[in-house]
């Protein structure tokens, strides 16, 4: 008898996809229903629900299930479940939802993916959720910060009827559902499968580690890189990861490994995160799991010592295989687990930060570190800094000198002539991109996000963006930095000219009008300016002339490698 893959959690894969006739009925009726457009992490959750990877869940969790999962890591029927799977929505949408009513779930292009039959609607206690998931409500914790900043405060639970899986135009052949992977495993005779869930590019050390683990377990390998949450199909980093995994797949012995993309958006670390990912691995047909820690993941390394975790994994029917750090032994030209290195042996390793530094500086990537095809791919994705795009983002009070410095910097960079330069001055953007916006905090933030988006596109495509808005609020400035840094350079310049100097320069009389109460919500007078603590440069134009200030920026760009020194002046 042919061996079967690990059976689904709960005994069967849940299927929410409606038959064709029912799907057409839902599409026709949806014209009268409320709609909700899903962001990428919500699309990832919906895909895992619709394709059965979250079996045995019957839809988005209701209030009782949510409370039970947070308090006891159990569904009301007693089945272990570690993390909440809910749909978060805005307060305004939640106010109009009633139990029993349908809510249409659409992607960002408007395609109808599913109908949620509303069960419960409630305001989340996100502090309690943070304590349960992360063991802390400290907003400095990355998971807690993401919970508060990225998730809406109202949750909706209910049953689902799926119309179709989220639509992907990339790597369609690598997007198998649990049922499809199980069929492939059966065809290949794979009953023991090690699910390698990775979040970063894997190199020689990770290859040797996973190959050794699979051989020891006498299991096949499923390379399962995560492509949910922030991974964006328009993002070069996303495509780089997939291409590198394709090159890595070629290195394994033929017939022993497979590559498939996993649309999972991690939301917890430690035991809860590991158990959830193990459930997903089991539903995809895997018997073992390895999880590559990301920058924000903590606690995975200690799980093997946790007896309660071992017990839960045993009940799940999945074996946890620790992700171990392997290093290169220079004399032996081989790799070994760090804890097994002989005393006195010379070892070599590169951190991800060191690798990015080498790429940015155009330095060699050692042959022992990665495969030549992956090194070539990395160089295409991460060119040296002097060929990357970058953004110089000025911030400061009105009249501080931002526009003068931005214009002067534009001329200097255009004189170099190696990359196109675009100036996004605050007044110019207000006229051409944000003419309908006022000056409330909300509208100012929208304006800055628009500037950040345009700058990120310029930067991503190898150009130089110079931005000169007031940008008074720290949170939105950090959002812009996070938008741009994954695709190129970002240099924040705080033009720190004192308020009294800015008022003396007040050519338009704006400060006088603000003092008289004619202009409301004016930065520095009736509205705060939050000084940045993360600026790369701080320039006071009361003490520096434009030529000297711009020269400091040029020298900083040269030191960082974004431009090459020029003898012209």
pLDDT in tens, 338-392: 999 999 899 999 988 899 899 988 899 999 999 999 999 999 888 899 899 999 9
CATH of the domain at 153: 3.10.400.10
Residue 408: pLDDT over 80: yes
Beta strands at 154-162 and 112-123: parallel, antiparallel or unpaired: antiparallel
Do residues 246 and 270 lie in contact, with contact meaning Cβ atoms separated by under 8 Å? Answer: no
Mean pLDDT score, 179-195: 95
User: How confident is the model over 397-423, as a mean pLDDT?
Assistant: 92
Helix (H) and strand (E) counts for the chain? 20, 19
d(CA 36, CA 152): 13
The average pLDDT across 17-37 equals 93
Instruction: Tell the residue number behind the tokens 């869930």, with chain if given.
Output: 197
Give the residue numbers spanning the domain of 24: 20-162
The answer as to whether 92 is a domain residue is yes
**Boundary (domain end) residue, out of 136, 162, 188:** 162
Backbone angles phi, psi at 69, to 5 degrees: -65, -45
CA distance 544 to 550: 9
Q: What average pLDDT does this structure show over 185-214?
A: 95
> pLDDT grade, residue 566 (50/70/90)?
low
User: Is the pLDDT at 568 greater than 60, yes or no?
Assistant: no
In tens, the pLDDT along 116-165 reads 999 999 999 989 888 888 888 888 888 888 888 888 889 999 999 999 99
Write down the pTM of the prediction: 0.83
- Look at residues 110, 144, 162 and tell me which one is the last residue of a structural domain: 162
Task: Give the per-residue pLDDT at 567.
Answer: 46
CB atoms within 10 A of CB 352: 11
Q: How far is CA 530 from CA 421, 470, 483, in A?
A: 28, 11, 20
- What was the pLDDT predicted at 133? 86
CA dihedral over 110, 89, 69, 126, signed as positive or negative: positive
Whether 514 has a pLDDT exceeding 60, the answer reads: yes
Last residue of a domain, one of 108, 131, 162: 162
Phi, psi dihedrals of residue 467, rounded to the nearest 5°: -115, 135
- Residue at 167 is within a domain: no
Q: Taking residues 396-425, report their average pLDDT.
A: 91
Q: Which residues pair with 34 in a beta bridge?
A: 103
Which residue in this structure is represented by tokens 């038959």? 19
What's the confidence (pLDDT) of residue 232? 47
What would the pLDDT profile of 224-274 be if each residue is shown by its tens digit? 999 876 544 446 778 899 999 999 999 999 999 999 999 998 877 788 889
- Contact between 182 and 336 under an 8 Å Cβ cutoff? The reply is no
In DSSP notation, 233-300 reads TT-HHHHHHHHHHHHHHTTSPTTSEEE--B-------HHHHHHHHHHHHHHTT-SEEEE---TT--SG
* pLDDT value for 101: 94
- Examine the domain organization and report whether 26 and 142 are in the same domain: yes
Return the pLDDT at 405: 95
Average pLDDT over residues 398-416: 93
Q: Does residue 55 register a pLDDT over 80? A: yes
Please count the structural domains in the chain. Answer: 3
Q: What is the pLDDT of residue 233?
A: 43
Please give, one letter per residue, the 3-state secondary structure of 388-441: CCEEEEEEECCCCCHHHHHHHHHHHHHHHCCCCEEEEEHHHHHHHCCCCCCCCH
- Same-domain status, 400 and 509: yes
Select the more confidently predicted residue: 269 or 106: 106
Residue 236 sits in the same domain as residue 146: no
Q: For residue 274, what are the CA distances in angstroms to 82, 258, 277, 318, 322?
A: 9, 22, 5, 11, 11
């Amino acid at each position: 008898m042919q061996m079967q893959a690990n059976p689904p959690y709960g005994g069967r894969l849940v299927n929410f996809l409606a038959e064709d006739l029912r799907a057409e009925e839902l599409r026709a009726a949806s014209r009268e229903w409320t709609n909700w457009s899903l962001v990428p992490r919500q699309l990832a959750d919906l895909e895992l629900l619709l394709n059965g990877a979250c079996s045995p869940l019957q839809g988005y969790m209701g209030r009782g299930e949510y409370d039970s999962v947070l308090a006891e890591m159990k569904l009301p029927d007693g089945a272990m479940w570690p993390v909440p799977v809910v749909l978060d929505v805005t307060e305004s949408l939640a106010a109009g939802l009633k139990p029993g009513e349908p809510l249409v779930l659409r992607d960002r292009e408007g395609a109808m993916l599913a109908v949620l039959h509303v069960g419960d609607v409630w305001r989340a206690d996100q502090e309690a959720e943070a304590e349960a998931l992360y063991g802390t409500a400290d907003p400095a914790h990355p998971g807690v910060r993401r919970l508060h900043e990225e998730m809406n405060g109202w949750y909706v639970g209910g049953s689902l009827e799926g119309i179709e899986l989220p639509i992907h135009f990339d790597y369609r052949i690598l997007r198998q559902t649990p049922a499809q992977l199980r069929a492939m495993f059966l065809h290949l005779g794979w009953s023991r499968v090690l699910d390698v869930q990775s979040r970063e590019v894997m190199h020689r050390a990770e290859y040797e580690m996973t190959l050794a683990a699979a051989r020891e377990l006498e299991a096949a390998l499923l390379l399962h890189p995560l492509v949910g949450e922030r991974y964006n199909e328009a993002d070069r980093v996303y495509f780089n990861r997939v291409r590198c995994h394709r090159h890595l797949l070629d290195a394994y012995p033929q017939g022993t490994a497979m590559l498939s993309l996993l649309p999972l958006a991690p939301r917890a670390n430690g035991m809860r995160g590991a158990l959830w990912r193990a459930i997903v691995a089991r539903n995809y047909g895997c018997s073992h799991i390895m999880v590559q820690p990301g920058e924000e993941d903590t606690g995975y390394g200690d799980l093997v010592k946790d007896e309660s975790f071992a017990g839960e994994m045993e009940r799940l029917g999945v074996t946890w295989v620790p992700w171990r750090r392997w290093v290169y032994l220079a004399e032996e030209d081989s790799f070994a687990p760090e804890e097994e290195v002989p005393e006195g042996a010379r070892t070599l390793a590169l951190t991800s930060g060191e690798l990015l530094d080498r790429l940015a500086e155009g330095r060699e990537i050692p042959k022992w570190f990665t495969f030549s095809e992956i090194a070539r791919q990395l160089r295409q994705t991460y060119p040296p800094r002097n060929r990357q795009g970058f953004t110089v983002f000025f911030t400061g009070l009105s009249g501080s000198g931002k526009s003068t410095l931005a214009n002067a910097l534009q001329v200097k960079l255009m004189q170099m002539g190696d990359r196109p330069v675009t100036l996004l001055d605050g007044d110019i953007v207000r006229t051409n991109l944000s003419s309908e916006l006022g000056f409330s905090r909300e509208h100012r933030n929208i304006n800055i996000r628009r500037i950040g988006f345009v700058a990120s596109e310029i930067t991503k495509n190898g150009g130089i963006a110079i931005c000169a808005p007031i940008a008074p609020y720290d949170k939105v400035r950090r959002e812009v930095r996070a938008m741009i840094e994954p695709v190129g350079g970002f240099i924040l310049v705080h033009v720190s000219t004192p308020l009294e100097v800015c008022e003396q320069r007040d050519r338009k009389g704006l400060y006088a009008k603000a003092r008289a109460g004619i202009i409301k919500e004016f930065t520095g007078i009736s509205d705060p300016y939050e000084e940045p603590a993360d600026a790369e440069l701080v320039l006071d134009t009361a003490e520096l002339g434009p030529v000297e200030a711009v020269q400091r920026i040029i020298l900083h760009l040269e030191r960082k490698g974004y431009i090459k020194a020029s003898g012209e002046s």
